[in-house]
Amino acid sequence: MSRFRAQLPNALPTLLVGLVAGITAVVGSYAAAGFTPSFVITPVTAWITEASPAALTNYVIENLGDLGHTLILLSGVGLVTGGVGVLVVGSRFLGQQLNNRALPVVATTVGTWAFVTATTGQALLALGAALPPGVVVLLTVAAPSLPTPEPVDSRRRQIIAGSFSVAGFSLAGYTVGQRRTPELGGEPLSENSKQQQLLQNASEESFSMDGAEPLVSENFYTVDIANVNPTVDESEWDLTITGEVDEETTLDYAALKNMESVDRFETLRCVGEDLNGKKMDTALWTGVPLENIVARAGPDGDCDCVRLRAADDYYQVFPMDALEDSLLAYGMNGSALPRGHGYPVRALIPGHWGEIQVKWITEIEVLDQDAEGYWEERGWHGTGPVETVAKLHAVNDLDDGRKEVGGHAYAGIRGIQQVEVSTDGGSTWTEAELTEPLDGIDAWRQWRYRYDPPDGSHEVVVRATDGNGTLQTQEERGKFPRGATGWVSRTVQ
């Protein structure tokens, strides 16, 4: 017992050294790699997502969005810090036992380097992660041992100096890492007056309503399986058509840009969003019809289906038919795709849920046998046409005493024929105003309704009719596994 107690004061500094070493490994890796797949946190968080139960992954990615990614990133940082910490503590202990001062330094450096190289595949950048903890261990092993009992203020001075060093190193590492994170995508495509004209028209036709996006979204949602987006430069990008084809073909970015392009508005909606959620947005996309590109390779598979693969190891399988009118898009709202939306190239498959709009696309594989996509393997419904929905996001008081309610309605390639509003909980219905259809075959419309409100609170309900004349289903169903249905209603005061 007394021996145990005597060792305690020594154990704490060792743990601290481990913690500090762990932090410097993460910071050093970030400084070397930036926020890219070569940052040690990328493979570690991918592993966390992969190893977690599907239900948890579903929940975090589909519901928590950015917060989910932050939480996973923090657990990744914790895991790497802890791992390096364990290495430090273990090797220091072993070093003490063997009376070998070099051992903890070498073990920490080589161990961290080997781990980061193995997981990121970047031996040189892995030095950024391995050297700082090595130095931390070196400094603490080599430091002359203080006389025991240590003077209290000398220990305090050490701790303060140590904290400042770690904070300074972290700040510097963060700044360097930010600079080293490549800015990809987003630059204007060219002086293309057609795109500017289309955007201009859309902006003029848009209903301006507080609480609802205009016709072209200002904040386009993102849903990603990876916590750190791929960094594929356009100069490195190519797309290969593989599998059951007469001839495997490859297309690079320059060739893609040389092909005749089309511009069209298209709405994306995530199957995992709530009925009145905000993961539905619209942009003007520029790209090249995908069907011809696949046809040129001579597809000859038995299932008439394809698997699209992406740089983040995402994959989706769907019938060849869906490729009709699909695009390989490289432009969004007149600029190159931003990194978060799939730079340099993504697929756009009209009328289908967001999940098959594969970003960072690298391969189209023609299959002989049907297979499951990433989300199907996790219980979600794969492809299939989107459900009809009318959302209610804007509830505003107008200057003249009337109320304004509004939002968007979307039914994929079926289009929207009409939106009706009830202000008495569904007893009576009136037709809402609609914006003109956008240029494209798969875009939402905005709806708006202005009325003299009754005294007190009342229930506003909204429902859309698609282009085939089919009324949005009233049946209430949750989002899992094939998308939420029902009519959106809201109590208005």
Ligand X SMILES: Nc1nc2c(c(=O)[nH]1)N[C@H]1C(S)=C(S)[C@@H](COP(=O)(O)O)O[C@H]1N2
**Applying CB under 6 A, which residues contact ligand X?**
220-225, 268, 270, 310, 312, 314, 341, 354-355, 357-360
Please, which of residues 136-155 interact with Mo ion by CB under 5 A?
Answer: none
If one asks whether residue 308 binds Mo ion (CB under 5 A), the answer comes out as: no
CB 347 within 8 A of CB 290: yes
CB 291 within 8 A of CB 219: no
Burial of residue 139 (number of CB atoms within 10 Å: 0-12, 13-18, 19+): middle
Indicate the residue whose CB is closest to Mo ion: 270
Which one of 183-191, 318-326, 349-357, 395-403 is the stretch in contact with Mo ion (CB under 5 A)? 349-357
Size of the site for Mo ion (CB under 5 A): 4
Which of the listed partners (Mo ion, ligand X, none) does 225 bind, with a CB threshold of 5 to 8 Å by partner kind?
ligand X
User: In whole angstroms, how close is the CB of 325 to ligand X at the nearest point?
Assistant: 18
> One symbol per residue from 375 to 414: x for binding Mo ion (CB under 5 A), - otherwise; what is it?
----------------------------------------
C-alpha of 148 from chain center:
53
- Please say which residue, 180 or 279, places its beta carbon nearer to ligand X: 279
User: In whole angstroms, how close is the CB of 367 to Mo ion at the nearest point?
Assistant: 22
If one asks whether residue 225 binds Mo ion (CB under 5 A), the answer comes out as: no
Which of the listed partners (Mo ion, ligand X, none) does 360 bind, with a CB threshold of 5 to 8 Å by partner kind?
ligand X
Closest CA to 301 of 241, 373, 377: 241
CB 76 within 8 A of CB 41: yes
Please, which of residues 27-66 interact with Mo ion by CB under 5 A?
Answer: none
Angle, nearest 10°, between helix axes 152-180 and 2-33?
20
Which of the listed partners (ligand X, Mo ion, none) does 314 bind, with a CB threshold of 5 to 8 Å by partner kind?
ligand X
User: In whole angstroms, how close is the CB of 341 to ligand X at the nearest point?
Assistant: 4
User: In whole angstroms, how close is the CB of 19 to ligand X at the nearest point?
Assistant: 33
If one asks whether residue 262 binds Mo ion (CB under 5 A), the answer comes out as: no
The residues, any chain, with a CB within 8 Å of residue 465's CB and separated by 6 or more, are 388, 416, 417, 418, 419, 420, 471, 472
If one asks whether residue 338 binds Mo ion (CB under 5 A), the answer comes out as: no
CA distance 4 to 460: 70
User: In whole angstroms, how close is the CB of 481 to Mo ion at the nearest point?
Assistant: 12
Distances, alpha carbon 43 to alpha carbons 72, 319, 393, 426, 467, in Å:
12, 31, 38, 51, 45
User: In whole angstroms, how close is the CB of 267 to ligand X at the nearest point?
Assistant: 10
Which ranges in 36-149 belong to alpha helices (H)? 41-51, 54-59, 66-98, 102-120, 123-142
CA distance 441 to 325: 9
Indicate the residue whose CB is closest to ligand X: 354
CA distance 416 to 470: 10
